[in-house]
Structure 1
Amino acid sequence: MKKTGLFFGTFNPIHIGHLVIANHIVEFTALDEVWFVVTPKSPFKQKKSLLENHHRYQMVYEAVKDYPKLGVSDIEFGLSEPNYTVDTLAILQDKYGGERAFSLIMGEDNLKSFHKWKNYEAILEYYPIYVYPRISENPIPERLQGHPGIQFVKAPVMEISATFIRREHKAGKNIRPLLPEAVWKYMDEMNFYR
């Protein structure tokens, strides 16, 4: 049974911070692989800066194709809105349950609001959660402190944001070192975020 960590995000664009964290988690925990689950563009939230699903998927694909333990999933693209992580997990479980055991990967900032997620108790009961450090304000809710299903990973603290990359790229700054080379090429050729 393969242990697969799921790293959800818009990845708009995927950057070296995402790669460093995913690679660290797959190399230094019990996980065998990490899938980047690209979350779809919501028809309810028309965010102008959010690239179309297939472009963000392609950039993640370009970023991970040379890393055998990293993969990309578009499982959420076909699901109805609004979509919740607990539903995605159920679909993945139906599809791959016999061959894979899934876990969630999230930043410490997301863990602080995790108790507001739909059916968070069920997620905690059936899916281990790997948490990587993020610099953020609020404390972790008491009910989640010391929970046996939550493992903190001493991954490097990566304070790079996709928002920063988009903004500074548009301003004409050289943000190329913050992106995997293949992602930079794709982004540049497609003239994204200008």
Structure 2
Amino acid sequence: MATVGLFFGSFNPIHTGHLIIATYMAHYTDLDEVWLVVSPHNPLKRKDTLINMYDRLEMVNLALEQAEKIKSSTVEFSLPQPSYTIDTLTHLNEKHPEKTFVLIMGSDNLASIKKWKNYEVLLRDYRIYVYPRPGFSIAEWEGHPAIRITDTPLMEFSSTFIRNAVKAGKSVRYFVPDGVLRFIENKGLYL
């Protein structure tokens, strides 16, 4: 049975940090593959800063052109919005009974998991692979049977950083893959 890591995100835009995390999870853990699940609308984030989900998906696909064991997923595009992780997992389990799903999340998300819909069910029924984010303690979760803290390299920049840099006219080369940079420039995104 294949084990798939689900890396949920707005990917607004996808950046090198996301790719390093996904690559680490796909190649340095026991996961068979990683799916980047493009979320139309995260209930804990403001919707007005999000660009069109199809543009975000296109950037993810451009970023993954050379990737091994990593692919995009549009599963949440057809589900009610905002998307709740537990509902997406229920849907994926029905659609892919031959796969085992593992959640991939940053320590920032783990720190706020008690705000998530049915978080107790997530912790009971799923494994969660956690990557470090600066400034977020996960000490209370150490030793929890569902939680695996990984040695993923620490990423100190975010999509917010990228959006603000583009808006300010600064270079984001190497922060995002070349194809993503061209897409942002050609569509005039984040200006």
**Could you state the TM-score of these two structures normalised by the residue count of structure 2?**
0.93
Q: Are 2:145 and 1:148 aligned?
A: yes
Q: Which moved more, 1:34-43 or 1:183-192?
A: 34-43
Q: 1:42 to 1:125 in 2, by over 3 A?
A: closer
Count how many residue pairs are aligned between Structure 1 and Structure 2. 190
In 2, the alpha carbon distance for the partners of 1:146 and 1:158 equals 24
**Which letter maps to 1:136?**
G
- Please give the alpha-carbon distance, in whole angstroms, between the structure 2 residues aligned to 1:46 and 1:153: 29
Whether 1:15 and 2:12 are equivalent positions in the alignment is no
Q: Is the 8 A contact 1:131 1:153 kept in 2?
A: yes
SS in structure 1 at match of 2:63: helix
Task: Spell out, residue by residue over 1:75-119, the C-alpha distance to the aligned partner (whole angstroms, 9 max, x if none).
Answer: 111111232100000000000122x11000000111111122111
Q: Partners of 1:178 and 1:75 in 2: how far apart?
A: 27
- 1:31 maps onto 2:38 in alignment: no
Q: Which amino acid aligns with 1:118?
A: K
Using the alignment, how far apart are the partners of 1:141 and 1:133 within structure 2?
A: 12
Unaligned runs of 5+ in 1: none
Contact 1:114 1:120 in 2 (8 A): yes
Give the letter aligned to residue 88 of structure 1: T
The TM-score normalised by the length of structure 1 is 0.92
Aligned sequence identity (%): 48
Q: Which amino acid aligns with 1:72?
A: S
Please state whether the residue corresponding to 1:5 is helix, strand or coil. strand
Conserved? CA contact 1:49–1:193, under 8 Å:
no
**For residue 166 of structure 2, what is the aligned residue in structure 1?**
169
Cα RMSD between the aligned structures? 1.7
Structure 2 stretches lacking a partner, 5+ long: none
